[in-house]
Structure 1
Amino acid sequence: MASPAVDDYLKTIYHHTEWQDARMTPSQLAAVLGLAPSSVTEMVQKLAAQGLVTHRPYGPVTLTATGERRAAAIIRRHRLIETWLVQEFGYSWDEVHDEAEVLEHTVSDRLLARIDERLGHPRFDPHGDAIPDADGRVDREPFLLLSAAPAGHRGRVLRVSDRDPDLLRALEVVGIAVGHVVEVRPATRVSVDGGEALTLPDGAAEAVWLSA
Protein backbone atom coordinates (compact mmCIF):
# COMPACT_ATOMS: atom_id res chain seq x y z
CA MET A 1 0.00 0.00 0.00
CA ALA A 2 2.64 2.52 -1.02
CA SER A 3 0.65 5.69 -1.56
CA PRO A 4 0.58 9.32 -0.42
CA ALA A 5 -2.73 8.66 1.37
CA VAL A 6 -1.20 5.88 3.49
CA ASP A 7 1.84 8.02 4.25
CA ASP A 8 -0.41 10.90 5.35
CA TYR A 9 -2.25 8.64 7.79
CA LEU A 10 0.96 7.28 9.28
CA LYS A 11 2.56 10.70 9.46
CA THR A 12 -0.47 12.17 11.25
CA ILE A 13 -0.56 9.38 13.84
CA TYR A 14 3.20 9.70 14.43
CA HIS A 15 3.04 13.47 14.79
CA HIS A 16 0.15 13.32 17.29
CA THR A 17 2.28 11.77 20.04
CA GLU A 18 5.54 13.62 19.40
CA TRP A 19 4.80 16.39 21.90
CA GLN A 20 2.26 14.76 24.22
CA ASP A 21 1.47 11.25 25.41
CA ALA A 22 -2.21 10.69 24.62
CA ARG A 23 -2.81 8.24 21.77
CA MET A 24 -4.80 9.30 18.71
CA THR A 25 -8.40 8.16 18.29
CA PRO A 26 -10.02 7.56 14.90
CA SER A 27 -12.28 10.60 15.44
CA GLN A 28 -9.23 12.81 16.04
CA LEU A 29 -7.57 11.34 12.97
CA ALA A 30 -10.67 12.13 10.89
CA ALA A 31 -10.75 15.71 12.20
CA VAL A 32 -7.09 16.39 11.43
CA LEU A 33 -7.28 14.87 7.95
CA GLY A 34 -10.66 16.47 7.20
CA LEU A 35 -12.23 13.13 6.26
CA ALA A 36 -15.46 11.34 7.12
CA PRO A 37 -15.15 9.01 10.15
CA SER A 38 -16.37 6.09 8.04
CA SER A 39 -13.56 6.64 5.52
CA VAL A 40 -10.99 6.79 8.31
CA THR A 41 -12.33 3.60 9.92
CA GLU A 42 -12.01 1.78 6.61
CA MET A 43 -8.44 2.97 6.04
CA VAL A 44 -7.41 2.14 9.61
CA GLN A 45 -8.64 -1.40 9.05
CA LYS A 46 -6.54 -1.62 5.88
CA LEU A 47 -3.48 -0.26 7.70
CA ALA A 48 -3.98 -2.80 10.47
CA ALA A 49 -4.22 -5.60 7.90
CA GLN A 50 -0.89 -4.44 6.47
CA GLY A 51 0.72 -4.53 9.92
CA LEU A 52 1.25 -0.77 10.06
CA VAL A 53 -1.08 0.06 12.98
CA THR A 54 -2.89 -1.67 15.81
CA HIS A 55 -6.45 -0.73 16.69
CA ARG A 56 -9.33 -2.08 18.77
CA PRO A 57 -12.94 -0.93 18.30
CA TYR A 58 -13.49 2.37 20.17
CA GLY A 59 -9.81 2.44 21.07
CA PRO A 60 -6.85 4.54 19.92
CA VAL A 61 -4.77 3.91 16.80
CA THR A 62 -1.13 2.99 17.48
CA LEU A 63 1.71 2.59 15.02
CA THR A 64 3.47 -0.76 14.92
CA ALA A 65 7.27 -0.81 14.71
CA THR A 66 6.95 -1.15 10.93
CA GLY A 67 4.44 1.70 10.75
CA GLU A 68 6.63 3.92 12.92
CA ARG A 69 9.67 3.35 10.70
CA ARG A 70 7.66 4.24 7.61
CA ALA A 71 6.13 7.30 9.29
CA ALA A 72 9.57 8.49 10.44
CA ALA A 73 10.89 8.15 6.90
CA ILE A 74 8.18 10.34 5.37
CA ILE A 75 8.44 12.87 8.21
CA ARG A 76 12.19 12.99 7.62
CA ARG A 77 11.51 13.87 3.98
CA HIS A 78 8.95 16.53 4.90
CA ARG A 79 11.12 18.27 7.47
CA LEU A 80 14.30 18.19 5.44
CA ILE A 81 12.39 19.77 2.56
CA GLU A 82 10.98 22.48 4.84
CA THR A 83 14.48 23.25 6.11
CA TRP A 84 15.83 23.29 2.55
CA LEU A 85 13.14 25.73 1.41
CA VAL A 86 13.89 28.11 4.28
CA GLN A 87 17.68 27.97 4.09
CA GLU A 88 18.21 27.77 0.33
CA PHE A 89 15.20 29.57 -1.16
CA GLY A 90 14.29 32.19 1.41
CA TYR A 91 10.88 30.84 2.35
CA SER A 92 9.52 31.96 5.70
CA TRP A 93 8.47 29.40 8.30
CA ASP A 94 4.77 30.03 7.66
CA GLU A 95 5.09 29.21 3.93
CA VAL A 96 6.86 25.87 3.84
CA HIS A 97 4.37 23.30 5.15
CA ASP A 98 2.11 23.12 2.09
CA GLU A 99 5.06 23.12 -0.30
CA ALA A 100 6.68 20.25 1.60
CA GLU A 101 3.40 18.31 1.57
CA VAL A 102 3.64 18.21 -2.23
CA LEU A 103 7.38 17.71 -2.59
CA GLU A 104 7.74 14.94 0.00
CA HIS A 105 6.02 12.52 -2.36
CA THR A 106 8.08 13.45 -5.43
CA VAL A 107 11.68 14.03 -4.29
CA SER A 108 13.90 10.99 -4.93
CA ASP A 109 15.94 9.33 -2.19
CA ARG A 110 19.10 10.41 -4.01
CA LEU A 111 18.08 14.06 -4.06
CA LEU A 112 16.96 13.89 -0.43
CA ALA A 113 20.39 12.56 0.56
CA ARG A 114 22.02 15.47 -1.32
CA ILE A 115 19.70 17.95 0.42
CA ASP A 116 20.60 16.48 3.81
CA GLU A 117 24.31 16.73 3.01
CA ARG A 118 23.98 20.25 1.63
CA LEU A 119 22.25 21.42 4.82
CA GLY A 120 24.85 19.82 7.08
CA HIS A 121 22.57 17.05 8.36
CA PRO A 122 20.20 19.27 10.40
CA ARG A 123 18.53 17.80 13.50
CA PHE A 124 15.52 20.13 13.58
CA ASP A 125 13.26 21.81 11.04
CA PRO A 126 12.38 25.56 11.05
CA HIS A 127 9.56 24.97 13.57
CA GLY A 128 11.76 23.02 15.98
CA ASP A 129 10.39 19.58 15.11
CA ALA A 130 13.04 16.86 15.22
CA ILE A 131 14.19 15.46 11.87
CA PRO A 132 14.50 11.67 12.19
CA ASP A 133 17.84 10.32 11.02
CA ALA A 134 18.08 7.72 8.27
CA ASP A 135 17.32 4.99 10.85
CA GLY A 136 14.26 6.80 12.20
CA ARG A 137 15.90 7.97 15.44
CA VAL A 138 15.19 11.42 16.90
CA ASP A 139 16.85 13.47 19.61
CA ARG A 140 14.64 15.58 21.89
CA GLU A 141 15.27 17.24 25.23
CA PRO A 142 12.66 17.46 28.04
CA PHE A 143 9.91 19.96 27.23
CA LEU A 144 6.62 21.44 28.38
CA LEU A 145 3.82 23.30 26.65
CA LEU A 146 3.82 27.04 27.27
CA SER A 147 0.28 26.88 28.66
CA ALA A 148 1.52 24.42 31.31
CA ALA A 149 4.55 26.50 32.31
CA PRO A 150 4.19 28.28 35.67
CA ALA A 151 4.87 31.97 36.09
CA GLY A 152 8.61 32.45 36.50
CA HIS A 153 9.56 29.51 34.29
CA ARG A 154 12.39 30.38 31.94
CA GLY A 155 13.03 28.16 28.96
CA ARG A 156 14.22 28.07 25.38
CA VAL A 157 11.61 27.83 22.63
CA LEU A 158 12.00 24.29 21.34
CA ARG A 159 9.07 24.05 18.98
CA VAL A 160 6.24 26.12 17.48
CA SER A 161 3.30 24.33 15.87
CA ASP A 162 3.12 24.88 12.12
CA ARG A 163 -0.63 24.23 11.92
CA ASP A 164 -1.70 27.91 11.77
CA PRO A 165 0.31 30.16 9.39
CA ASP A 166 -1.42 33.27 10.76
CA LEU A 167 -0.25 32.43 14.28
CA LEU A 168 3.29 31.85 13.02
CA ARG A 169 3.28 35.31 11.49
CA ALA A 170 1.88 36.84 14.70
CA LEU A 171 4.57 35.15 16.79
CA GLU A 172 7.24 36.42 14.43
CA VAL A 173 5.95 39.97 14.91
CA VAL A 174 6.33 39.77 18.71
CA GLY A 175 9.73 38.10 18.41
CA ILE A 176 9.00 34.52 19.45
CA ALA A 177 10.97 31.99 17.42
CA VAL A 178 12.74 28.68 17.91
CA GLY A 179 15.84 29.16 20.04
CA HIS A 180 14.70 32.34 21.80
CA VAL A 181 14.59 32.31 25.61
CA VAL A 182 11.16 33.01 27.09
CA GLU A 183 10.28 33.87 30.68
CA VAL A 184 6.67 33.25 31.61
CA ARG A 185 4.91 36.14 33.34
CA PRO A 186 1.44 36.24 34.95
CA ALA A 187 -1.71 36.89 32.89
CA THR A 188 -0.54 35.11 29.71
CA ARG A 189 2.38 37.48 29.24
CA VAL A 190 6.01 36.60 28.52
CA SER A 191 9.33 38.31 28.03
CA VAL A 192 11.59 37.22 25.20
CA ASP A 193 15.38 37.22 25.49
CA GLY A 194 15.20 39.47 28.55
CA GLY A 195 13.03 42.13 26.94
CA GLU A 196 9.86 43.83 28.14
CA ALA A 197 6.82 41.74 28.99
CA LEU A 198 4.42 41.29 26.07
CA THR A 199 0.99 39.79 25.57
CA LEU A 200 0.86 36.53 23.64
CA PRO A 201 -1.20 36.29 20.44
CA ASP A 202 -4.39 34.24 20.75
CA GLY A 203 -3.62 30.52 20.65
CA ALA A 204 0.11 30.91 21.27
CA ALA A 205 0.11 29.24 24.69
CA GLU A 206 -1.13 26.00 23.09
CA ALA A 207 1.30 26.19 20.15
CA VAL A 208 4.69 26.87 21.76
CA TRP A 209 6.85 24.32 23.60
CA LEU A 210 9.66 25.33 25.96
CA SER A 211 12.62 23.49 27.40
CA ALA A 212 11.70 22.03 30.78
Structure 2
Amino acid sequence: MPTSYPTAVEDYVKVIYSHTEWQDQPITTSVLAARLGLAASSVTEMVKKLAVQGLVEHVPYGAVTLTPDGTALALRMLRRHRLIETWLVQHFGYSWDEVHDEAEILEHALSDRLLDAIDEELGCPVRDPHGDPIPGRDGTISRPEAALLGAASEGSTVTVARISDRDPMLLRHLEAEGITVDTALVVVGRQPFGGGFIVRLPTGEERDLGEQALESIWATRQSSQTREIS
Protein backbone atom coordinates (compact mmCIF):
# COMPACT_ATOMS: atom_id res chain seq x y z
CA MET A 1 0.00 0.00 0.00
CA PRO A 2 1.38 3.48 -0.90
CA THR A 3 2.74 5.60 1.95
CA SER A 4 0.28 8.21 3.24
CA TYR A 5 1.44 11.83 3.27
CA PRO A 6 -0.08 15.09 4.54
CA THR A 7 -2.07 17.15 2.03
CA ALA A 8 0.59 19.87 1.92
CA VAL A 9 3.28 17.37 0.94
CA GLU A 10 1.10 16.00 -1.85
CA ASP A 11 0.45 19.52 -3.13
CA TYR A 12 4.13 20.43 -3.14
CA VAL A 13 5.36 17.43 -5.12
CA LYS A 14 2.50 17.79 -7.60
CA VAL A 15 3.39 21.42 -8.31
CA ILE A 16 7.11 20.62 -8.60
CA TYR A 17 6.40 17.88 -11.13
CA SER A 18 3.87 19.93 -13.10
CA HIS A 19 6.28 22.83 -13.49
CA THR A 20 8.64 20.82 -15.67
CA GLU A 21 6.11 18.50 -17.26
CA TRP A 22 5.80 20.58 -20.44
CA GLN A 23 9.05 22.56 -20.35
CA ASP A 24 12.63 22.09 -19.18
CA GLN A 25 13.16 25.14 -16.96
CA PRO A 26 13.80 23.86 -13.39
CA ILE A 27 11.75 25.14 -10.48
CA THR A 28 13.32 27.15 -7.65
CA THR A 29 11.92 27.83 -4.19
CA SER A 30 10.94 31.37 -5.25
CA VAL A 31 9.01 30.09 -8.27
CA LEU A 32 7.46 27.36 -6.14
CA ALA A 33 6.38 29.98 -3.60
CA ALA A 34 4.74 32.03 -6.34
CA ARG A 35 2.93 28.99 -7.74
CA LEU A 36 1.63 28.03 -4.29
CA GLY A 37 0.88 31.59 -3.16
CA LEU A 38 3.03 31.20 -0.05
CA ALA A 39 5.89 33.12 1.56
CA ALA A 40 9.33 32.15 0.27
CA SER A 41 10.55 31.43 3.81
CA SER A 42 7.69 28.98 4.42
CA VAL A 43 8.39 27.18 1.16
CA THR A 44 12.11 26.93 1.93
CA GLU A 45 11.34 25.28 5.26
CA MET A 46 8.91 22.85 3.65
CA VAL A 47 11.41 21.93 0.95
CA LYS A 48 13.92 21.07 3.68
CA LYS A 49 11.32 18.75 5.24
CA LEU A 50 10.62 17.14 1.87
CA ALA A 51 14.34 16.54 1.44
CA VAL A 52 14.52 14.84 4.84
CA GLN A 53 11.64 12.59 3.77
CA GLY A 54 13.54 11.65 0.63
CA LEU A 55 11.04 13.26 -1.74
CA VAL A 56 13.18 16.07 -3.19
CA GLU A 57 16.76 17.11 -3.71
CA HIS A 58 17.64 20.78 -3.26
CA VAL A 59 20.85 22.79 -3.31
CA PRO A 60 20.49 26.18 -1.56
CA TYR A 61 19.62 28.87 -4.13
CA GLY A 62 19.35 26.16 -6.76
CA ALA A 63 16.64 24.05 -8.33
CA VAL A 64 14.27 21.74 -6.50
CA THR A 65 14.07 18.29 -8.11
CA LEU A 66 12.01 15.25 -7.24
CA THR A 67 13.59 11.98 -6.19
CA PRO A 68 12.14 8.73 -7.56
CA ASP A 69 9.88 8.52 -4.50
CA GLY A 70 8.82 12.14 -4.98
CA THR A 71 8.07 11.53 -8.63
CA ALA A 72 5.97 8.46 -7.80
CA LEU A 73 3.93 10.48 -5.30
CA ALA A 74 3.49 13.34 -7.76
CA LEU A 75 2.25 10.99 -10.47
CA ARG A 76 -0.16 9.39 -8.03
CA MET A 77 -1.62 12.81 -7.21
CA LEU A 78 -1.77 13.88 -10.85
CA ARG A 79 -3.64 10.68 -11.67
CA ARG A 80 -6.19 11.56 -9.00
CA HIS A 81 -6.50 15.20 -10.04
CA ARG A 82 -6.88 14.56 -13.76
CA LEU A 83 -9.24 11.62 -13.42
CA ILE A 84 -11.48 13.71 -11.18
CA GLU A 85 -11.45 16.59 -13.66
CA THR A 86 -12.45 14.21 -16.45
CA TRP A 87 -15.15 12.64 -14.27
CA LEU A 88 -16.65 16.04 -13.42
CA VAL A 89 -16.80 17.06 -17.08
CA GLN A 90 -18.16 13.80 -18.45
CA HIS A 91 -20.63 12.87 -15.71
CA PHE A 92 -21.63 16.06 -13.92
CA GLY A 93 -21.81 18.67 -16.64
CA TYR A 94 -18.90 20.79 -15.44
CA SER A 95 -17.14 22.85 -18.09
CA TRP A 96 -13.38 22.55 -18.49
CA ASP A 97 -12.78 25.92 -16.84
CA GLU A 98 -14.62 24.90 -13.63
CA VAL A 99 -13.00 21.63 -12.64
CA HIS A 100 -9.53 22.53 -11.39
CA ASP A 101 -10.51 23.90 -7.98
CA GLU A 102 -13.00 21.09 -7.37
CA ALA A 103 -10.34 18.49 -8.19
CA GLU A 104 -7.87 20.20 -5.84
CA ILE A 105 -10.23 19.37 -2.97
CA LEU A 106 -11.46 15.94 -4.02
CA GLU A 107 -8.05 14.51 -4.95
CA HIS A 108 -7.13 14.25 -1.26
CA ALA A 109 -10.43 12.70 -0.18
CA LEU A 110 -11.25 9.84 -2.55
CA SER A 111 -10.16 6.32 -1.73
CA ASP A 112 -8.04 4.34 -4.18
CA ARG A 113 -10.93 1.91 -4.64
CA LEU A 114 -13.32 4.68 -5.67
CA LEU A 115 -10.69 6.26 -7.92
CA ASP A 116 -10.13 2.97 -9.74
CA ALA A 117 -13.89 2.57 -10.15
CA ILE A 118 -14.08 6.06 -11.66
CA ASP A 119 -11.22 5.20 -14.01
CA GLU A 120 -13.01 2.07 -15.23
CA GLU A 121 -16.33 3.90 -15.56
CA LEU A 122 -14.63 6.50 -17.76
CA GLY A 123 -13.01 3.83 -19.92
CA CYS A 124 -9.48 4.43 -18.57
CA PRO A 125 -8.89 7.80 -20.28
CA VAL A 126 -5.32 8.79 -21.13
CA ARG A 127 -5.77 12.56 -20.84
CA ASP A 128 -7.92 15.08 -19.03
CA PRO A 129 -10.15 17.80 -20.59
CA HIS A 130 -7.17 20.14 -21.00
CA GLY A 131 -4.98 17.57 -22.76
CA ASP A 132 -2.79 16.78 -19.76
CA PRO A 133 -1.87 13.07 -19.66
CA ILE A 134 -3.39 10.87 -16.95
CA PRO A 135 -0.81 8.56 -15.34
CA GLY A 136 -1.66 4.89 -15.26
CA ARG A 137 -2.04 2.85 -12.09
CA ASP A 138 1.57 1.72 -12.49
CA GLY A 139 2.86 5.30 -12.68
CA THR A 140 3.62 5.33 -16.40
CA ILE A 141 2.60 8.39 -18.37
CA SER A 142 2.52 9.04 -22.10
CA ARG A 143 2.87 12.61 -23.30
CA PRO A 144 2.72 13.90 -26.90
CA GLU A 145 5.81 15.57 -28.33
CA ALA A 146 4.19 18.98 -28.27
CA ALA A 147 5.63 22.49 -28.26
CA LEU A 148 4.21 25.90 -27.53
CA LEU A 149 2.05 27.09 -30.41
CA GLY A 150 4.15 30.23 -30.82
CA ALA A 151 7.10 28.07 -31.93
CA ALA A 152 5.18 26.66 -34.93
CA SER A 153 6.45 27.79 -38.32
CA GLU A 154 4.39 29.89 -40.69
CA GLY A 155 2.24 27.80 -43.01
CA SER A 156 2.38 24.69 -40.84
CA THR A 157 -0.68 22.71 -39.78
CA VAL A 158 -0.76 21.70 -36.14
CA THR A 159 -3.20 20.14 -33.69
CA VAL A 160 -3.82 21.57 -30.24
CA ALA A 161 -2.52 18.97 -27.77
CA ARG A 162 -2.83 20.78 -24.47
CA ILE A 163 -4.10 24.06 -23.03
CA SER A 164 -2.97 25.12 -19.56
CA ASP A 165 -5.80 25.25 -17.03
CA ARG A 166 -4.20 27.93 -14.85
CA ASP A 167 -6.49 30.71 -16.12
CA PRO A 168 -10.21 29.81 -16.31
CA MET A 169 -11.01 33.07 -18.13
CA LEU A 170 -8.55 32.20 -20.89
CA LEU A 171 -10.11 28.74 -21.24
CA ARG A 172 -13.55 30.30 -21.67
CA HIS A 173 -12.20 32.79 -24.19
CA LEU A 174 -10.44 30.15 -26.29
CA GLU A 175 -13.50 27.90 -26.30
CA ALA A 176 -15.62 30.83 -27.50
CA GLU A 177 -13.04 31.40 -30.26
CA GLY A 178 -13.32 27.76 -31.34
CA ILE A 179 -9.95 26.64 -29.99
CA THR A 180 -9.94 23.57 -27.74
CA VAL A 181 -7.95 20.34 -27.43
CA ASP A 182 -7.72 18.53 -30.81
CA THR A 183 -8.53 21.65 -32.84
CA ALA A 184 -6.50 21.69 -36.07
CA LEU A 185 -4.91 25.05 -36.81
CA VAL A 186 -3.05 26.47 -39.79
CA VAL A 187 -0.39 28.95 -38.71
CA VAL A 188 -0.80 32.05 -40.85
CA GLY A 189 1.99 33.95 -39.09
CA ARG A 190 2.59 37.03 -37.03
CA GLN A 191 1.34 40.47 -37.83
CA PRO A 192 4.22 42.89 -38.52
CA PHE A 193 5.77 45.16 -35.89
CA GLY A 194 5.08 42.85 -32.94
CA GLY A 195 1.47 42.20 -33.80
CA GLY A 196 -0.67 39.18 -32.97
CA PHE A 197 -0.14 35.56 -33.95
CA ILE A 198 -2.70 34.58 -36.60
CA VAL A 199 -4.10 31.04 -36.94
CA ARG A 200 -6.81 29.66 -39.23
CA LEU A 201 -9.54 27.35 -37.93
CA PRO A 202 -10.96 24.39 -39.87
CA THR A 203 -13.93 26.66 -40.69
CA GLY A 204 -11.62 29.02 -42.54
CA GLU A 205 -11.99 31.73 -39.92
CA GLU A 206 -8.86 33.38 -38.59
CA ARG A 207 -8.04 34.15 -34.98
CA ASP A 208 -5.54 36.65 -33.59
CA LEU A 209 -3.84 35.19 -30.50
CA GLY A 210 -1.97 37.25 -27.92
CA GLU A 211 1.05 36.28 -25.83
CA GLN A 212 -1.01 34.93 -22.92
CA ALA A 213 -2.71 32.44 -25.23
CA LEU A 214 0.56 31.49 -26.92
CA GLU A 215 2.12 30.74 -23.53
CA SER A 216 -0.79 28.43 -22.68
CA ILE A 217 -1.32 26.38 -25.86
CA TRP A 218 0.82 23.38 -26.80
CA ALA A 219 0.48 21.95 -30.29
CA THR A 220 1.82 18.99 -32.21
CA ARG A 221 2.13 18.04 -35.84
CA GLN A 222 -0.36 15.33 -36.69
CA SER A 223 2.45 12.85 -37.37
CA SER A 224 4.06 13.53 -33.96
CA GLN A 225 4.86 10.50 -31.81
CA THR A 226 4.54 10.10 -28.07
CA ARG A 227 7.11 9.25 -25.45
CA GLU A 228 6.71 7.27 -22.27
CA ILE A 229 7.99 8.31 -18.88
CA SER A 230 8.09 6.02 -15.88
TM class by shorter chain equals over 0.9
Q: 1:54: Cα distance to partner? A: 0.3
2:172 to 153, 166, 169: 169
Percent identical: 58
1:35-69 per-residue CA deviation (whole Å, 9 max, x = no partner) reads 00000000000000000000001110000000000
**Which residue of the other structure, out of 85, 94, 97, is the alignment partner of 1:94?**
97
Pair 1:51 & 2:54 matched: yes
Contact (CA 8 Å) 1:78, 1:104: kept in 2 or not? yes
Cα distance, 1:87 vs. partner? 0.3
> d(CA) in 2 for partners of 1:93 and 1:142?
23
Instruction: Please give the alpha-carbon distance, in whole angstroms, between the structure 1 residues aligned to 2:202 and 2:54.
Output: 47
Residues in 1 aligned to 2:216 and 2:210: alpha-carbon distance in whole angstroms: 10
By percentage of residues, which structure has more strand? Answer: 2
- Alpha-carbon deviation of 1:155? 1.0
**3-state DSSP class of the match of 1:140?**
strand
- From 188, 193, 209, give the equivalent of 1:200: 209
- SS at structure 2 position matched to 1:112: helix
User: How many pairs does the alignment contain?
Assistant: 212
Residue 122 of structure 1: aligned partner = 125
C-alpha distance in 2 between matches for 1:160 and 1:141: 13
- How far 1:194 sits from its partner (Å)? 5.0
Q: What TM-score do you get using the length of structure 2 for normalisation?
A: 0.90
Q: Distance in 2 between matches of 1:197 and 1:71?
A: 39
How far is 1:201 from its partner?
Answer: 5.2
Q: Return the alpha-carbon distance in structure 2 between the equivalents of residues 138 and 156 of structure 1.
A: 20
For residues 6-47 of structure 1, the C-alpha deviation after alignment (integer angstroms, 9 at most, x for no partner) is: 111000000011100111111100000000000000000000
Shift of 1:153: 2.2
User: Over the residues paired in the alignment, what is the CA RMSD in angstroms?
Assistant: 1.1
Does 2:42 align with 1:39? yes
For residues 54-203 of structure 1, the aligned pairs below 5 Å read 54-187=57-190, 188-193=197-202, 195-200=204-209, 203=212
**Could you list the runs of 5+ residues in structure 1 that have no partner in the other structure?**
none
Mean CA deviation greater in 100-109 or 179-188: 179-188
The structure 1 segments of at least 4 consecutive aligned residues displaced by more than 4 Å after TM superposition are none
